Amino acid sequence: MSKLRKGVAYHGNRILKHVHEDMLDIIDHDFNLVVHMFSHTDWDRHKNIMKEIVAISEGYGLEVWIDNWGLGGPPGDKSHFLSYHPDCHQIFSDGTRDPVHVCMNREEFRSFTKEWIDAVEEIGGRKIFWDEPRLIMKENREPPVWTCYCEKCRGLFEERYGKPMPRELTPETEAFRVWTLADYFREVTTYSSSKGMENIVCVMLEETYGIHLGTLGEIARLDHLDNIGSDPYWGWDGKEDPYSFVYEATRRNLEICKRYGKEHNIWIQGYGTKPGMEEEIVQATDAAYDAGARTILVWGYRGSESNDYRAVHPDMTWKTIGDAMRRITEKDREAIRLKKLDAMRTKFGLAE
């Protein structure tokens, strides 16, 4: 059976005294994996501190993933890259500029990403978590207004399709958006893999951002992408049953991973938790495990208490997150016990 990996995202603190305390707290809540953000600001201002944070985490026995948090724009902290390269913004099909997202077809950004990978290596990171890659659409626009329509992308589109890029979101422009993300990851994961690093990605369930579970094949077949996941966050409109929603999304994710021979990661929503909804975290975690996931992570530490999108009651949410992790740990132990028992019965001719 696969090892049960239970992870939590950790950011908002760079004070080492608290890092020690928090890593022990994470272990006490039955986790064995931590995802550390490594933003552009961390790279500029905290690189040596981040090296110590990685060492502290591993010293306590935690597996460590390094998140490219906001490197090319949200999700996460805003990147400083566009301050140095103002011509590299994503451009919408109506000609307006997205203020915070970088075009992934720009050579300057790909070189910048490789420099960031070098920095990850310097701080001791060996597993990179590529967090929700995305191209953008403006909300509630009909017809859709989408990225990227910059000069670079229009030139590449014409090379691929032999005609100018239309402003409409056609099957060809949709395919080009997916190709853009896949080609970016082909280049950067090849580079990180050459350094012996593992590459892990999480994609959205939604169709807004170009890469999602429905279009994942383009990046799933990349040679140097090792692990593919998604984040079936259920708790926004109050309409989804958390168990059913997470179970079905997890099964879809695992089917894609099986098809392409990849590992998986499934994220549980532990932020924005409203009063009285804490128990849904247990239901969702059960659903991911019951659907077959064995790498299950939560966003984020203490209900993302250090963010404005935190749980309303972080203490209660964090306790419930720990309860959820302990439940699946016990489920896993019992499954292992029964498997070993069946093997022994077969060995001694006692199988029914």
CB atoms near residue 156 (< 10 Å): 18
pLDDT beyond 90 at 42: yes
Q: Say which CATH number the domain at 279 has.
A: 3.20.20.80
Let me know if residue 166 belongs to a domain.
Answer: yes
Q: Render pLDDT for 281-316 as a digit per residue (tens, 0 to 9).
A: 999 999 999 999 999 999 999 999 999 999 999 999
Q: Distance (Å, rounded) from C-alpha 1 to C-alpha 81?
A: 43
pLDDT at residue 352 in the model: 66
Do the domain assignments include residue 75?
yes
Q: Given the DSSP bridges, would you call strands 97-102 and 5-10 parallel, antiparallel or unpaired? A: unpaired
- Of 25-29, 130-134, 246-250, where does mean pLDDT reach its minimum? 130-134
Residue 125 amino acid letter: G
How wide is the angle at C-alpha 260 spanned by C-alphas 4 and 335, nearest 5°? Answer: 25
Segment 68-105, tens digit of pLDDT: 999 999 988 888 999 999 999 999 999 999 999 999 99
Distance CA 244, CA 286 (A): 10
Task: Examine residue 178 and state whether it is found in any structural domain, yes or no.
Answer: yes
Residue-level pLDDT at 210:
54
Which helix or strand (DSSP H or E) is residue 230 part of? strand 227-230
Cβ(310)–Cβ(303) below 8 Å? yes
Helices within the chain (DSSP H only): 16-28, 40-45, 47-59, 81-84, 107-122, 151-161, 171-194, 217-220, 242-260, 279-290, 314-347
Question: Over the stretch 205-236, which tens digit does the pLDDT of each residue have?
Answer: 665 555 555 667 788 899 999 999 999 999 77
pLDDT higher at 110 or 133? 110
Q: Is residue 279 part of a domain?
A: yes
Closest CA to 278 of 239, 310, 245, 232: 310
CA atoms within 13 A on the CB side of 20: 2
pTM of the predicted protein model: 0.95
In whole angstroms, what is the distance from residue 304 CA to residue 324 CA?
Answer: 16
For 108-127, b where at least 16 C-beta lie within 10 A, e where not — what string?
Answer: ebeebbeebbebbbebbbbb
The DSSP code sequence of 180-204 is HHHHHHHHHHHHHHHTT-EEEEEEB
Q: How far apart are CA 319 and CA 180, in angstroms?
A: 41
Confidence band of 1 (pLDDT split at 50, 70, 90): low
- pLDDT tens-place string over residues 167-209: 999 999 999 998 999 999 999 999 999 999 999 999 876 655 5
| Structural domain count, the chain | 1
**113 token code pair:** 């990403």
Query: Structural domain of residue 61, as residue ranges?
Result: 5-347
Residue in this structure with the two tokens 């992570």, named with its chain if needed: 297
Rounded to an integer, the average pLDDT of 34-39 is 97
Q: Answer yes or no: is 352 within a domain.
A: no
